[in-house]
């Protein structure tokens, strides 16, 4: 009886061992191809190398070819990511496009290539704003725009355009998430949000790559820090909107005629437009009036101007609301004024709220 049990145990053991050996190649080969299709080239290389060592490698197979492809894509990906981190977008795009010729299913490289293409179309992505003094506020505007007071801001750089869907989707895919600490960055269910999550990859709807992204304050903050930048203070934003040291004292950013410089409810049809399609202001910055409201770093305080510091002012006193500036595609013309102040809850992801970044 004992001999029979031992014989049965050994038979099962050897059968399982032989079965594992027989299926060794197919297992590693299958996982290698899956990793390759997903753009996980290091894991694909590891799987294909393991398949080579199996005892059941068929006489005819394309293992060596797939291994060579994976190694080439891995090398190109590392080179592309290095160029991308150096903001050498032209060479980075070349690397990503080379990968796509080998593996057209690589959605990460597709998004990176699109982002690099957009950057190559606008090589000067930031505008230098020389610091100086200006009169902040308005004599004729809302109560929260008073009193008019002189402030000075230090020099800084500001994004030439509002942050676009194509730029933001790269950030999302690198983070692999759409929220942090319970705070959502954008509302994927909103029909006006042109970024969607498909097969665990964030993608921009075709035709909306260069439209402003619609985000919460938390999303704007997270992106700006990831990009090595920051959100503008309210004073910096108004100084730049007025044209900085080149200001012609226009009512709107770049003109006294809102139709020249702004998309708003009177000319947009209620739809957000591509960035940079209206006339820029004196500094060469686009859309500071209209298209989307823009988040600032400051907390909102209706009476802040009466107690504001005169040097690089910023309201850091915590409350429920953050500052919004500039007006949007659905707002009235008077909300496009450089001095107009607005606010909202930082978790808000409404249809016409976006942002741009600055850096020192």
- Tens-digit pLDDT profile for residues 305-335: 999 999 999 999 999 999 999 999 999 999 9
Cα–Cα distance for residue pair 180/185, rounded to 1 Å: 8
Task: Report the share of the chain in percent with pLDDT over 90.
Answer: 75
Place of tokens 């009169």: 135
Both tokens of 274, joined, read 């591509």
Most confident of 25-29, 197-201, 327-331: 327-331
- Architecture of the domain spanning 126-359: Alpha-Beta Complex (3.90)
Residues in the chain: 360
Residue 252 predicted with pLDDT over 80: yes
pLDDT given at position 61:
77
Residues 41-48: contacts with CB under 8 Å, at least 24 apart: 41/70, 41/71, 41/73, 41/74, 41/77, 42/74, 44/70, 45/70, 45/71, 45/74
pLDDT given at position 118:
63
Cα–Cα distance for residue pair 219/224, rounded to 1 Å: 9
Both tokens of 157, joined, read 């750089």
Over the chain, what is the mean pLDDT?
90
pLDDT given at position 84:
86
Cα–Cα distance for residue pair 7/283, rounded to 1 Å: 87
Both tokens of 335, joined, read 């909300």
Residue ranges of the chain that CATH labels 3.90.1580.10: 126-359
- Cα of 75 vs its chain's centroid, Å: 25
- pLDDT confidence bin for 87, thresholds 50/70/90: confident
Which DSSP state fits 65? H
pTM, rounded to two decimals: 0.71
Across 272-299, average pLDDT: 97
pLDDT given at position 13:
43
Cα–Cα distance for residue pair 213/349, rounded to 1 Å: 10
């Amino acid at each position: 009886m004992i001999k029979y049990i031992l014989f049965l145990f050994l038979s099962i053991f050897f059968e399982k061992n032989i079965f594992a050996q027989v299926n060794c190649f197919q297992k590693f080969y299958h996982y290698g191809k899956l990793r390759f299709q997903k753009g996980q080239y290091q894991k694909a290389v590891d799987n294909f190398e393991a398949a080579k060592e199996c005892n059941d490698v068929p006489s005819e197979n394309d293992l060596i070819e797939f291994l060579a492809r994976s190694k080439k894509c891995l090398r190109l990906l590392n080179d592309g990511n290095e160029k991308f981190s150096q903001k050498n977008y032209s060479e980075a795009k070349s690397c990503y496009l080379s990968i796509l010729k080998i593996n057209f299913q690589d959605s990460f490289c597709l998004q990176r290539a699109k982002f690099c293409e957009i950057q190559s179309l606008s090589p000067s992505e930031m505008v230098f704003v020389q610091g100086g003094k200006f009169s902040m506020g308005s004599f004729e505007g809302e109560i929260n725009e008073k009193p008019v007071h002189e402030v000075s801001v230090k020099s800084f750089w500001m994004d030439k355009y509002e942050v676009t869907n194509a730029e933001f989707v790269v950030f999302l895919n690198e983070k692999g998430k759409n929220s942090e600490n319970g705070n959502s960055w954008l509302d994927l269910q909103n029909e006006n949000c042109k970024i969607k999550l498909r097969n665990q990859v964030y993608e921009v709807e075709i035709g909306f790559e260069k439209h402003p992204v619609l985000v919460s304050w938390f999303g704007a903050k997270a992106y700006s820090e990831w990009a090595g930048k920051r959100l503008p203070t309210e004073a910096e934003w108004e100084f730049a909107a007025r044209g900085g040291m080149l200001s012609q004292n226009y009512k709107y950013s770049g003109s006294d005629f809102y139709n020249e410089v702004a998309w708003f409810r009177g000319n947009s049809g209620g739809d957000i437009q591509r960035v940079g399609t209206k006339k820029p202001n004196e500094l060469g910055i686009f859309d500071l009036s209209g298209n989307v409201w823009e988040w600032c770093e400051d907390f909102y305080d209706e009476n802040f101007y009466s107690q504001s510091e005169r040097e690089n002012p910023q309201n850091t006193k915590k409350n429920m609301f953050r500052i919004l500036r500039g007006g949007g595609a659905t707002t009235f013309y008077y909300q496009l004024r450089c001095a107009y102040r607005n606010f909202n809850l930082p978790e808000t992801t409404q249809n016409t709220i976006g942002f741009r970044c600055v850096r020192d």
